Amino acid sequence: MADKNTPDIIYTKVDEAPELASASLLPIIRKFASAAGISVGTKDISLAGRILATFPEMLTEEQRISDDLAELGELVKTPEANVIKLPNISASVPQLVAAIKELQSQGYALPDYPEEPKTDAEKAVRAKYDSIKGSAVNPVLREGNSDRRAATAVKKFAQANPHRMGEWTRDSKTRVAAMSGGDFFSNEVSATLPKEATATIVLENAKTETVLKEGVKYPAGTVVDATYMSASALDSFLEDEIAKTKDEGVLFSLHMKATMMKVSDPIIFGHAVKAWLKPVFEKYGDEMKALGVNPNSGLGDLLARVKDQPEIMAAIEAVTAERPPMYMVNSDKGITNLHVPSDVIIDASMPALIRAGGKGWGPDGKEHDCVCVIPDNSYAPVYDAAVEFFKANGKLNPATAGTVQNIGLMAQKAEEYGSHPTTFEIPTDGVVKMVLDDGTVLHAHEVKAGDIWRSASARKAPIEDWVNLAIDRQRLTGYRAIFWLDENRAHDAELIKYVKPILEAKGVADKFEIMAPREATIASLETITKGENTIAITGNVLRDYLTDLFPILELATSAKMLSIVKLMQGGGLFETGAGGSAPKHVQQLLEEDHLRWDSLGEFCALGESFRFLAETKGNAKAKVLGDAVDVATQGILDNDRSPSRKVGQPDNRDSHYWFARYWAEALAAQGDDAELAAEFAPVAKALADDEAKIVAELAAVQGKPADIGGYYHADPAKLAAVMRPSATLNAIIG
């Protein structure tokens, strides 16, 4: 049970642009919620907050904070949970190191991140920091499966006001490149455990047996996978693709998720950096290692460490001149695709490229066709199929396109590929075995030093819940429903053994199709091109990828998605969209005091949260608030009150003023609750009467640098001053 003092709604404190926006929006939410007797609290799941909570022994009494993530992890296992979760940083090593340095500069006596720990103390510190890396938050909070879709108001607006799409042509040279073998897909084995078991993962060779992980507990019915990627096959593939890209005269680009797949993908990223600078590493590898170079940290970190070594810098320039041009994160600043592992995140980068007609920005500041390198074949076919579909059929028309909704399997750490603590870079040649407590060898792979071996799992209860959630969604909508499962992939074949009997037992097998991801992508694109709708029922990673891919094509953004996690114990988790573009937004705010982050995802989640509260707590006023939120959200869209991109134009703070005004007007006009109508009528009048003054006060601050006291750990007073610059609005809201 939740503590009786737990607020009715928890609003998460996060990072970057969503957290900046919260400084403006949260006071408005609290003002309106309090009228219905609803308390709104916060829990800090930001990267900085998680670092501070992990090292209390290093801090003064005043600096210590509670472990809010752990507390939330317990709350989501109760029926009382009502959490609005904003996107948080899934930290790569460079981000983690930057956050540590910022906190140290603010007076927090935190230890440095040990790149190469040698002592037991350094290894202990490294283990603590590694627990914060990557997608450390989501597996803790997601005690339920995912229901993601475009809110009706957002979809209607996108159709009435279609965004610009790049032109696709049949002669486009853009293509997706994936390994032909030796990858995770081709080496995967999977089994469903008939009884509860505990596994030990060992690496055996002729001389030694090394325990990689022990005490991995699985309940009965768990689907357990194991696979590996061959380092030598990966290197050969990368070298071949660099050469082919040069011959084809297009941009080279690598698309990974070094944030979510926090163990595996930074290693793959490092292989790409080494392949790109292969002659340099062959000649100067020892010198660069002595300078602290770790290719997994990216080209940017490498260049910073060798900048005072003219011989190495000259060698890098010589090799770069021989390479194909590279896809750029920021061509004006010379930031390449390989600079920072967390800069190019596949679920944001590939949809943006597809939306742009297969084009990416090159070092010359112009758009070009690209080779999109996605080494593993588990999900590369989705993007390959999309690219080939648009080459053949031309761009999608957002004005007439249907929608792809998603039901995603993710509860209880389902399919945590490459981020799970059972992912390893293999130190020596040998055989990796998963040995159960009864002596059964569940899985075994012969591996070489440098290979990346991983195991992941999905439990029975979440799988069954996922299938039943899909059945409910299909019944509510009547839409075409497709399980994206490949019978020729080991893991998917085990899931199909769960899916088919449940569909048959419920008498709905004829309502569902089962297709491999490539075929499901084509079927879904064909369906929405005809203006019809479909439900993609997918595992965890595809949930992440598709709920960016289709919204970016349909709506121009995934930040406006409605994302509901129906927690398995009866609570609700309401997610607010993707945060992949958040760093660019922060940079613009710091330089120009203009925040273009769109809080529409927060608005959508807020309405659902209020209605859920009304349903679970019997608070009729909460439903009135939630319905009025929907009216306000529609007002934002219909009257074009979303943030603009350029300084001097209305930004995030303006959109919050209009949201508050439309919300107040909707509450004043409704007839279901006279008390709320009476309370908000004067608020609505004041917001309308003072429009000119408020808008002028918001506009006056733009165009000069903003000081928020820190990127990862902002100063609350400075942040409030920047994000709430209208004294008139503040006086009305309080």
Bin 342: left if φ > 0, else alpha if -120 < ψ < 50, else beta.
alpha
Is 600 contained in some domain? Answer: yes
Is 298 contained in some domain? Answer: no
Whole-angstrom Cα distance, residue 406 to residue 410?
Answer: 12
pLDDT digits (tens, 9 = 90+) for 398-452: 999 999 999 999 999 899 887 778 999 999 999 999 999 999 999 999 999 999 9
Whole-angstrom Cα distance, residue 215 to residue 211?
Answer: 11
Residue-range definition of the domain harbouring residue 113: 9-132+145-163+556-733
Task: Give me the residues paired with residue 223 across strands.
Answer: 192, 458
Mean local confidence (pLDDT), 465-474: 96
- Residue 262 near residue 133 (C-beta atoms within 8 A): yes
Q: How far apart are the first and last CA of the chain?
A: 33
Q: How many CA atoms lie within 13 A of 140 on its CB side?
A: 20
The pLDDT value recorded for residue 577 is 67
- Residue 411 near residue 143 (C-beta atoms within 8 A): yes
**Number of domain units in the chain:** 1
Whole-angstrom Cα distance, residue 103 to residue 677?
Answer: 46
pLDDT digits (tens, 9 = 90+) for 623-671: 999 999 999 999 999 899 999 999 999 999 999 999 999 999 999 999 9
Task: Give me the residues paired with residue 147 across strands.
Answer: 407, 564
- Residue 200 near residue 252 (C-beta atoms within 8 A): no
Whole-angstrom Cα distance, residue 106 to residue 102?
Answer: 6
Residue 286 has pLDDT above 70, yes or no: yes
Structure token pair of residue 31: 């003002």
Whole-angstrom Cα distance, residue 57 to residue 69?
Answer: 18
Residue 1 has pLDDT above 50, yes or no: no
pLDDT digits (tens, 9 = 90+) for 575-632: 886 655 567 899 999 999 999 999 998 999 999 999 999 999 999 999 999 999 999 9
The pLDDT value recorded for residue 725 is 98
Residue 614, amino acid: A
Mean local confidence (pLDDT), 676-696: 98
Buried b or exposed e, range 681-710, using 16+ CB within 10 angstroms? eebbebbeebeeebbebbbebbeeebebeb
Whole-angstrom Cα distance, residue 115 to residue 93?
Answer: 9
Is 58 contained in some domain? Answer: yes
The whole-model pTM stands at: 0.84
Q: What one-character DSSP code corresponds to residue 345?
A: B
Is 123 contained in some domain? Answer: yes
Residue 166 has pLDDT above 60, yes or no: yes
Whole-angstrom Cα distance, residue 414 to residue 225?
Answer: 11
Neighbouring C-beta atoms of residue 440, cutoff 10 Å: 12
Structure token pair of residue 169: 């042509």
Whole-angstrom Cα distance, residue 481 to residue 474?
Answer: 7
Work out the angle between the directed axes of helices 231-248 and 264-276 (0-180°, nearest 10).
Answer: 50
Q: How many CA atoms lie within 13 A of 734 on its CB side?
A: 9
Structure token pair of residue 723: 């994000």
pLDDT digits (tens, 9 = 90+) for 60-94: 999 999 999 999 999 999 999 999 999 888 888 88
Residue 3 has pLDDT above 70, yes or no: no
